[in-house]
Amino acid sequence: EPEVTQTPSHQVTQMGQEVILRCVPISNHLYFYWYRQILGQKVEFLVSFYNNEISEKSEIFDDQFSVERPDGSNFTLKIRSTKLEDSAMYFCASSGGLAVVYNEQFFGPGTRLTVL
Amino acid sequence: AQSVTQLGSHVSVSEGALVLLRCNYSSSVPPYLFWYVQYPNQGLQLLLKYTSAATLVKGINGFEAEFKKSETSFHLTKPSAHMSDAAEYFCAVSLDDKIIFGKGTRLHILP
């Protein structure tokens, strides 16, 4: 069964460093998403991406964040200068269609980012 | 704006007992609702989704949920809890191009 994969599973970094979180969405999907979950809190939407551009982003997704689909398979989230409060589990998701027309979003297993 | 509220951050049930996890939604339009499960140290897995085709939705692992418009509820149930059901459960609603999650309910199964 096709699945979303994410690497690494755990990333530890120093405050101020750049990190890139990688995701391989399901191959025929067209919509891509990043969510995050701070420990003990709910899952929050960060950004959606379609047709090589951001379609929507939350207030969390400030200028320190960027997303890219560098090739036909990978989808990346970059944090330019990490802060302590960026420590969280980051989930990638992909979908064959818009959530609003109830196409299921398939989630990856997550990358746990720890900023020291 | 669409949102969901989950009642109870922790729920404990005995093995074999009924599981009931509560979720109420707020939506100005017919909502698309979901329940996701997160097992320890794992990602999010879709349990079931409501897409207006039927008010009683059956999902994986014996779970089901009933959409009640009059009560704006979408509670998750399972007739008989199993130890393997211990996990965090998230109710969610779709809003435009994203999914809005509730705060989650951690389900504990007592032997």
Q: How many residues does chain B have?
A: 111
User: Once rounded to an integer, what is the mean pLDDT over residues A23-50?
Assistant: 92
What is the pLDDT at residue B51?
Answer: 81
Report which of residues A72 and B92 the model is more confident about. B92
* Candidate ranges B46-50, B53-57, B66-70, B77-81; pick with highest mean pLDDT: B77-81
Determine the average pLDDT of the residues in A5-30.
94
- pLDDT tens per residue, range A34-45: 999 998 888 999
The answer on pLDDT for B43 being more than 90 is no
Residue B32 pLDDT grade (very low, low, confident, very high; cuts 50, 70, 90): confident
Provide mean pLDDT across the span B81-109: 92
Of the partner residues A43, A101, A104, the one whose CB lies closest to the CB of residue B46: A104
Residue A97 has pLDDT above 70, yes or no: no
Is residue A73 very low, low, confident or very high in pLDDT (cuts 50, 70, 90)?
A: confident
Name which of B36, B43, B99 is nearest A109 (Cβ-Cβ): B43
Q: The dihedral of CA B49, B50, B54, B57: what is its sign?
A: positive
Q: Please answer yes or no on whether A56 and B42 come within 8 Å at the CB atom.
A: no
CA dist., res. A62 & res. A54, Å (int) = 13
Q: Tell whether the model's pLDDT for residue A96 goes beyond 70.
A: yes
User: Residue A98 — very low, low, confident or very high, per pLDDT cuts 50/70/90?
Assistant: low
In this predicted structure, the answer to whether residue B96 has a pLDDT above a threshold of 80 is no
Query: Residue B44: closest CA among chain A residues belongs to which residue?
Result: A107
Q: pLDDT class for A70, splitting at 50, 70, 90?
A: confident
Residue A93: per-residue pLDDT: 94
**Which residues does chain A have within 8 Å of residue B37's beta carbon, measured at their own beta carbons?**
none
Q: What Å distances lie between residue A78 and A60, A64, A93, CA to CA?
A: 13, 8, 16
Is A51's pLDDT higher than 80? Answer: yes
